[in-house]
Amino acid sequence: MTLSFECTCGQTAWELPGADASAGTRTICYCRDCRAFARYLGVDDRMEPGGGVDLFITRPGRIHVTRGLENMALMKLSPNGRERWYTSCCKSPVTSHLAGWAPMAGLLALPAVDRDALGEVRMIYGAKDAIPGQGAPEANRGVAALMLRILFGWALPGFVLRRLRDTPFYKDGRPIAEATILTKDQRAAITD
């Protein structure tokens, strides 16, 4: 099935064709950076108990932008931070990208119509940073399995085929939008 995503205002839409549990790894990330990104966008009320963000980690090239590509905006929490994509029209979350030779897209499942189609949660990450209390995980799990999946599933084949930057978020080897990089103070204001 194709899983459709739409920003809050409707100007931007993206999709994941062939979306099922085999297309990636459904993850809840409890790291402070993912939480800061959710706060930056004002969607932190939609986090999981314990302050987790629901992601689907997949090959970036799997994502298709079907409407409003020009609205894709890029921010980084720090100069060397992960690429975090969102929509400029209404600040809806899209992905947390790891660029480089082993790229991954953590597609934020928050705006998905039917995120259960992505299968059960197979990875817990950032457990030590979770907000203590009900629902906080005790430990990470599934991390090694995901590393292997990225490496053999798409990083090595992509490297060999020179298709690593073959994604809607890159053109001619460069991001399609200029990154907004937060200052230390801006970052501190949204980081717990």
Q: Which two tokens stand for residue 28?
A: 């809840």
Residue of 163, 167, 185, 28 lying closest to 106 (CA atoms): 28
Q: Is 9 in the site for Zn ion (CB under 5 A)?
A: yes
Q: Is 34 in the site for Zn ion (CB under 5 A)?
A: yes
Asked whether position 95 contacts Zn ion by CB under 5 A, the answer is no
29 binds Zn ion (CB under 5 A): yes
Q: Which stretch binds Zn ion (CB under 5 A): 30-38, 59-67, 159-167, 182-190?
A: 30-38
Indicate whether 112 belongs to the interface with Zn ion (CB under 5 A): no
CA distance 140 to 142: 7
Check residue 47 for interaction with Zn ion (CB under 5 A).
no
Q: Which of 15, 66, 90, 186 binds Zn ion (CB under 5 A)?
A: 90
Residue 26 to residues 88, 92, 109, 112: CA-CA distances in angstroms? 25, 19, 9, 13
For residues 67 and 65, what is the distance between their CA atoms, to the nearest angstrom? 6
Binding site for Zn ion (CB under 5 A): 7, 9, 11-12, 29, 31, 34, 87, 89-90
